[in-house]
Structure 1
């Protein structure tokens, strides 16, 4: 496998992991924890992050150059989600998944 394909596969994997982590955390951890975990802005950001990650993975799997645009947006949203999950607290898995995805998406957007 050539290096570009390996980089893209790493990004796809990071996006799908972040999608799964954000959606699962929002649907289970946040709803059950309540309080700041269910603040509308935080909850919407988590859902937006999950969807942007899913969409970016989808575009990379299609093999279209449009993934560069979605990956740039994904990196920005993931970074914001990581910061907000860190602010809320007790969301280490989400913070880690978002930061990793942001890093991988920045590479694909370049």
Structure 2
């Protein structure tokens, strides 16, 4: 097993947290509230965010050299998701998870 340094571990944790928060918020909070929370663009963005976070964590866990590319994309999608969740409102936990993940992933991609 390859060694995972502290910076990478923190990014993996942020990605997995964001994955869980986006997935559970979309499936619980958003589906329950409906309206703007379930508009196609927003809901698709949340699902894409959850999946890219899970994928980025996976790439880091397996030690793939491609993790930088995936983390760059993850940072971009997380930023968009945070902005959209902020726009809709009442999604502070999701906004915070996305912003934290984006920051960690930006650092990993650099």
TM-score when normalising by structure 1: 0.96
Aligned residues: 107
- State the partner residue of 1:51: 51
Question: After superposition, what is the alpha-carbon deviation per residue over 1:38-70, rounded to whole angstroms, capped at 9, x for unaligned?
Answer: 000000000000000000000000001100000
Question: After superposition, what is the alpha-carbon deviation per residue over 1:2-40, rounded to whole angstroms, capped at 9, x for unaligned?
Answer: xx7100000000000000000000000000011100000
Distance 2:86 2:109 in 1: 25
- State the partner residue of 2:33: 33
- State the partner residue of 1:20: 20
TM-score when normalising by structure 2: 0.96
Matches within 5 A, 1:1-110: 5-110=5-110
Distance 1:44 1:69 in 2: 21
Distance 2:64 2:52 in 1: 16
User: What runs of 5+ residues in structure 1 fail to find an aligned partner?
Assistant: none
Distance 1:23 1:58 in 2: 16
Distance 2:5 2:77 in 1: 24
Q: Which runs of 4+ in 1 moved over 3 A?
A: none
RMSD: 0.8
